[in-house]
Structure 1
Amino acid sequence: MGRQRRFRRRPRPALPTQTELDALPADRRLELIDLDRQNRHRQVNTWILAAGVAATVGTLLVTGLTLRSGQDQLNIAREGQVTDRYARAVEQLGSNKREVRTAAIYALERIARDSERDRLAIRDVLAAYVREHDPDPSKVKDDKLPQEPDTDVHAALTTLARRPNEPTEAADLDLHGIRTPAMVFTVTLLKHDGILTSIEGPNLINANLTNANLTRATLTRADLRDANLTNANLTNARLINAKLGGADLTDANLAGANLASANLTNARLINTHLINAKLGGADLTDARLISADLTDADLNDANLTRANLTNADLTDANLAGANLAGADLRGVRGVSEAMVRKAAKTNAETLFGPLPNP
């Protein structure tokens, strides 16, 4: 075990006795008195400096707390103003005057920009407003429906379309039952999970409507060319004369949807649910309907030239007058080759039979 060095505190020198002080010459005694005075002066200065530092720190702490308190009060006041503006705008939505309701909608749009915490609530309020104030297609005959929405409904739809971006984890935008005739969304789109964001292009061309809830939506004559409708819910939607050329409807639910005379050329309808869908007169040239469920679908006079229907379910589908020239019907279910040839138009390039083994 190595030798450890011990450090001892040096002993304080003993103060001189009175006898020793008396024995010193006068000049030495004066020198000692002066040194003692200097030591005391240094001690006093040290205490004064420490007190000054403590006072400064205390002042800074008080100032910081005051600023924080002031900021909190400012935030509370701002939140109170936003709440008052929101309550006033929502109250004005119930006005009997259309111009007051329209102004309230644009006031809510401003609040949505100023207050992130209120953005989703305002979005849902406006979606509900459209459903409540636009005529319900299921209760009004087509010839009685207005060609365009009223001014206030148009304002609500426009505000929904151009609102600020929202986080992808936000709740789905519920657009079921909303009618959008003659609406043009110049900088709008629905992205995944039904959330609105920005795009370029008129109407809904190239729109991303992945997972959007468009149940019973009226999109008659809507321009959805090259739109992404993957996994979208379009149950009982009205898409008469809609433009869906090149659209991706993979895994979408179009059960009961009305697609009469719609343009679906080059559309992707892979695994799409088209049970009881109305496709009379629709143009499905070069469409991919691989494994699509067309049970009870109406394909009367539909153009399915060169369409890929491999593994599709055509149980009880109406194929009267459908054009299946060059279509690929290998592996189809629910219908025989004889039944297809009897009801639809085929040619030598129409393919039947099982699919080849991979």
Structure 2
Amino acid sequence: MAGIATALAAVGALWFNGKAMEQNGEQLEMTRQGQVTDRFSKAVDQLGDDSMDTRLGGIYALRRIAQDSPRDREATVDVLTAFYLAHDTLAKHGTPSGHGTPADRRTVSGDGSVVCEVGALSKIARDALATLNALMELVPLERGASEKAIKDFELHGNSALDGPDMSGTYLSGIRIPPSSGLFVRADLRGVDLQGARLDGVNFGAASLNSADLSCAYADSADLQGVELDGARLDEAELRGARMPKVALDVQARRAILTGADFHGRSFSGIDLRGSTLNRADIRRADLSDANLRGADLSDADLRGADLRGADLRGANLKRARLDDVKWAGARTEGIRGMNLPKT
């Protein structure tokens, strides 16, 4: 009996100690959450301060809270998104005070197209830039993430992944990391992304209608689901980019589109004067009435493409694959690299 009593006492002691540890753990978690709440409230207060340094401190504090406390990440992202959209100094639908107009920051040639400024820097305000960088880190689009996983994350009401309204915002020269999901389904109509670094960025189903991506670097960017009507891509570099299925009134003079995917896309009337499209996949694409004057289409795959009414004067078609191309009404004077059928 003594042995049984001893064993029961030992079990009781273990239960008591376990319960005490559980209660201590709960108390520690409550204390930690209280500290996080205090940090969160203080950081939010800092966002409303007149001092740039204080606002930056609040932004960095919120960023750290989201990293330390996954359960508070959603609320932190919502606050940072609201701050960026409501309190930045970017003068939406215009340009920042004192920075001039887009025309002042680039050279426009005689034909109205853009000539890039080398080394142009972003004029985005420091607090807005810090907020945007935090959002890009906290709202990742994981490489290889399943569509279901992304949708599940969206269902939690994350405002950035649901598509923020950044229409008209000035983001010239900004660098967006490929891992960011910030622009997925975003409203980017009329946004100024001149000279932006967008290599490998997935825009999902974002709206880029009338956006200015002149001189942007967007190699391997995924644009296949975006709206791009009226966009400017003059001098942009989009090597290997996946282009939208349909886009109207796009201006992309002297753009670099080496290896870009236009397969089955509809870009009727696009202005690609002087652009580089060598090795591009243009199979069964609709480029009717497009301006391809002086374009480099060497080694491009144009099988089954619709080039009716297109201006191909002076274009380079060396080694291009041209089976079943529709040429009716195309202007082909001075074309290089091959003999075309009379149109």
Q: TM-score range by the shorter chain?
A: 0.5 to 0.7
Could you report, residue by residue, the CA deviation over 1:155-213 in whole angstroms, capped at 9, with x for unpaired residues? Answer: 2123234459787533363455264433456xx4325xx27xxxxxxxxxxxxx8x564
Residue 125 of structure 1 pairs with residue 79 of structure 2: yes
User: Identical aligned pairs, as a percentage?
Assistant: 27
- CA–CA separation in structure 2 for the residues paired with 1:224 and 1:292: 21
- CA–CA separation in structure 2 for the residues paired with 1:300 and 1:234: 24
Which residue, out of 260, 281, 305, partners 1:332? 305
Give unpaired runs (5+ residues) of structure 1.
Answer: 1-45, 196-208, 354-358
- CA–CA separation in structure 1 for the residues paired with 2:123 and 2:207: 21
Q: Given residue 98 of structure 1, which amino acid in structure 2 is its aligned partner? A: M
Equivalent residue of 1:189, what SS? coil
Q: Report what 1:182 is aligned to.
A: 173
Q: CA deviation at 1:117?
A: 0.9
- CA–CA separation in structure 2 for the residues paired with 1:222 and 1:299: 20
Superposed, which structure 2 residues align to 1:114-263 within 5 Å?
Answer: 114-132=68-86, 133-136=88-91, 138-140=93-95, 141-142=101-102, 147-163=122-138, 168=145, 169=149, 170-171=153-154, 173=161, 174=163, 177=166, 179-184=170-175, 188-190=177-179, 194=181, 213=186, 215-216=188-189, 217-225=191-199, 227=200, 229=202, 231=204, 233=206, 235-236=208-209, 237-245=211-219, 247-249=220-222, 251-256=224-229, 257-263=231-237
Superposed, which structure 2 residues align to 1:19-98 within 5 Å?
Answer: 46=1, 49-98=3-52
Q: Report what 2:286 is aligned to.
A: 313
Structure with higher RCO (Cα < 8 A, 6+ apart): 2
Q: Is the 8 A contact 2:290 2:307 kept in 1?
A: no
Q: CA deviation at 1:270?
A: 5.6
Could you report, residue by residue, the CA deviation over 1:328-357 in whole angstroms, capped at 9, with x for unpaired residues? Answer: 544233724253316x8633437789xxxx
Equivalent residue of 2:134, what SS? helix
Q: Report what 2:118 is aligned to.
A: none
CA RMSD between the two structures = 3.7
Equivalent residue of 2:265, what SS? coil
Q: Is the 8 A contact 2:141 2:179 kept in 1?
A: no
- CA–CA separation in structure 2 for the residues paired with 1:136 and 1:251: 29
Q: CA deviation at 1:105?
A: 0.3
- CA–CA separation in structure 2 for the residues paired with 1:331 and 1:345: 22
Q: CA deviation at 1:103?
A: 0.6
Residue 349 of structure 1 pairs with residue 338 of structure 2: yes
- CA–CA separation in structure 2 for the residues paired with 1:124 and 1:56: 51
Q: CA deviation at 1:221?
A: 0.9
- CA–CA separation in structure 1 for the residues paired with 2:85 and 2:139: 22
Q: Given residue 189 of structure 1, which amino acid in structure 2 is its aligned partner? A: P
Distance 1:59 1:239, change over 3 A: same
Q: Report what 2:315 is aligned to.
A: none
Larger CA Rg, structure 1 vs 2:
1
Q: CA deviation at 1:57?
A: 3.2
Q: Is the 8 A contact 1:325 1:345 kept in 2?
A: no
How does the TM-score come out when normalised to structure 2? 0.67
Q: CA deviation at 1:112?
A: 1.1
Q: CA deviation at 1:115?
A: 0.5
Distance 1:142 1:77, change over 3 A: same
Q: Is the 8 A contact 1:321 1:345 kept in 2?
A: no
Q: Report what 2:317 is aligned to.
A: none
Equivalent residue of 2:330, what SS? helix
Distance 1:304 1:124, change over 3 A: same
Q: Is the 8 A contact 1:249 1:272 kept in 2?
A: no
Equivalent residue of 2:179, what SS? strand
Distance 1:143 1:81, change over 3 A: farther
Q: Report what 1:281 is aligned to.
A: 254
Distance 1:151 1:324, change over 3 A: closer
When you count helix as a share of all residues, which structure comes out higher? 1
Q: Given residue 347 of structure 1, which amino acid in structure 2 is its aligned partner? A: R
How does the TM-score come out when normalised to structure 1? 0.65
Q: Is the 8 A contact 1:325 1:349 kept in 2?
A: no
Equivalent residue of 2:248, what SS? coil
Q: CA deviation at 1:294?
A: 0.4
Equivalent residue of 2:37, what SS? helix
Q: Is the 8 A contact 1:137 1:218 kept in 2?
A: no
- CA–CA separation in structure 2 for the residues paired with 1:147 and 1:77: 42
Distance 1:307 1:106, change over 3 A: closer
Give unpaired runs (5+ residues) of structure 2.
Answer: 96-100, 106-120, 155-159, 310-326
Q: Is the 8 A contact 1:267 1:284 kept in 2?
A: yes
